[in-house]
Chains A and B, each alone.
Chain A
Amino acid sequence: MNKLQNQKAWWLVVPVVILVAFNALIPLMTVVNYSVQETFGNNLFFWHGLGWFQEVLTSERFHASLLRQLAFTFTILLIEVPLGIAVALCMPRTGPWVSVCLVLMALPLLIPWNVVGAMWNIFALPDIGLLGNAVNSLGIDYNFTQQPVSAWVTTVVMDVWHWTSLVVLLTYAGLCSIPDAYYQAARIDGASSWAVFRFIQLPKLKRVLTIAILLRFMDSFMIYTEPFVLTGGGPGNTTTFLSIDLVKIALGQFDLGPAAAMSLIYFLVVLLVCWVFYTLMMRNEEN
Chain B
Amino acid sequence: MMRGQTHRALVTTLYIVFLMLPIYWLVSMSFKTTNEILGAFSLWPQDFTLENYRKIFTDPTWYTGYLNSISYVAMNTVISVAVALPAAYAFSRYRFLGDKHLFFWLLTNRMAPPAVFALPFYQLYSAIELFDTHIGVALAHCLFNIPLAVWILEGFMSGVPKELDETAYLDGYSFWRFFIRIFIPTIAAGIGVAMFFCFMYSWVELLLAKTLTAVDAKPIAATMTRTASTSGYELGLLAAAGTLTIVPGAFVIYFVRNYIARGFALGRV
Whether chain A touches chain B in the assembled complex (some CB pair under 8 Å): yes
Docked complex Cα distance between A273 and B76 (Å):
28
Secondary structure type dominating chain B contacts: helix
Task: Bits for B20-34, please: 1 = Cβ < 8 Å to A, else 0.
Answer: 111111100100000
Do A6 and B146 contact each other (CB < 8 Å), given the known contacts A19-B83, A123-B21, A161-B19?
no
Pair A12/B107 contact, Cβ less than 8 Å? no
Pair A113/B115 contact, Cβ less than 8 Å? no
Which residue of A is nearest B112, CB measured?
A: A267
Instruction: Indicate if A51 sits at the interface (CB-CB under 8 A).
Output: no
Instruction: Indicate if B95 sits at the interface (CB-CB under 8 A).
Output: yes
Pair A15/B19 contact, Cβ less than 8 Å? no
Instruction: Indicate if B258 sits at the interface (CB-CB under 8 A).
Output: yes
Pair A107/B15 contact, Cβ less than 8 Å? no
Task: Bits for A22-33, please: 1 = Cβ < 8 Å to B, else 0.
Answer: 111011101100
Pair A246/B115 contact, Cβ less than 8 Å? yes
**Residues on B with beta carbons closer than 8 Å to the beta carbon of A149:** none
Contact of A128 among B20, B37, B228 (CB under 8 A): B37
Pair B249/A107 contact, Cβ less than 8 Å? yes
**Residues on A with beta carbons closer than 8 Å to the beta carbon of B8:** 89-92
Pair A4/B93 contact, Cβ less than 8 Å? yes
Pair A107/B225 contact, Cβ less than 8 Å? no
Pair B238/A118 contact, Cβ less than 8 Å? yes
Q: How close is B201's CB to chain A, nearest CB, in angstroms?
A: 10
Contact of B254 among A9, A103, A218, A251 (CB under 8 A): A103
Q: Of the 9-residue stretches A71-79, A139-147, A171-179, A195-203, which lies at the interface with chain B? A: A171-179
Instruction: Indicate if A236 sits at the interface (CB-CB under 8 A).
Output: no
Pair A31/B206 contact, Cβ less than 8 Å? no
**Residues on A with beta carbons closer than 8 Å to the beta carbon of B110:** 218
Pair A225/B206 contact, Cβ less than 8 Å? yes
Docked complex Cα distance between A4 and B92 (Å):
10
Contact of B260 among A106, A224, A243, A263 (CB under 8 A): A106
Contact count band on B: 35 or more
Do A110 and B261 contact each other (CB < 8 Å), given the known contacts A105-B19, A122-B239, A229-B225?
no
**Residues on B with beta carbons closer than 8 Å to the beta carbon of A8:** 96
Docked complex Cα distance between A256 and B116 (Å):
11
Docked complex Cα distance between A130 and B117 (Å):
37
Q: How close is B249's CB to chain A, nearest CB, in angstroms?
A: 3
Instruction: Indicate if A135 sits at the interface (CB-CB under 8 A).
Output: no
Instruction: Indicate if B60 sits at the interface (CB-CB under 8 A).
Output: no
Which residues 213-229 of A sit at the B interface, judged by CB distance below 8 A?
A: 215, 218, 221-222, 224-225, 229
Pair B94/A5 contact, Cβ less than 8 Å? yes
Instruction: Indicate if A169 sits at the interface (CB-CB under 8 A).
Output: yes
Pair B95/A5 contact, Cβ less than 8 Å? yes
Instruction: Indicate if B121 sits at the interface (CB-CB under 8 A).
Output: yes
Which residue of A is nearest B238, CB measured?
A: A118
Instruction: Indicate if A247 sits at the interface (CB-CB under 8 A).
Output: yes
Contact of B25 among A91, A130, A169 (CB under 8 A): A130
The 24 sampled A-B contact pairs (Cβ below 8 Å) are A5-B94, A8-B96, A9-B93, A15-B83, A20-B106, A23-B140, A26-B124, A92-B9, A105-B16, A106-B253, A110-B253, A112-B204, A112-B245, A113-B204, A114-B224, A114-B225, A127-B41, A130-B22, A208-B265, A211-B268, A218-B111, A246-B115, A246-B116, A266-B113
Q: Give B residues with C-beta under 8 Å from A.
A: 7-9, 11-12, 15-16, 18-26, 29, 37-38, 41, 43, 79, 83-84, 86-87, 89-97, 99, 102, 104, 106-121, 123-124, 139-140, 142-143, 146-147, 150, 158, 162, 200, 203-207, 219-222, 224-225, 228, 235, 238-239, 242, 245-246, 248-250, 252-254, 257-258, 260-265, 268-269
Q: Give A residues with C-beta under 8 Å from B.
A: 1-10, 12-13, 15-17, 19-20, 22-24, 26-28, 30-31, 83, 86-87, 89-92, 99, 101-115, 118-120, 122-123, 127-131, 133, 161, 164-165, 168-170, 172-174, 176-177, 207-208, 211, 215, 218, 221-222, 224-225, 229, 242-244, 246-247, 250-251, 256, 259, 263-264, 266-267, 270-271, 274-275, 278
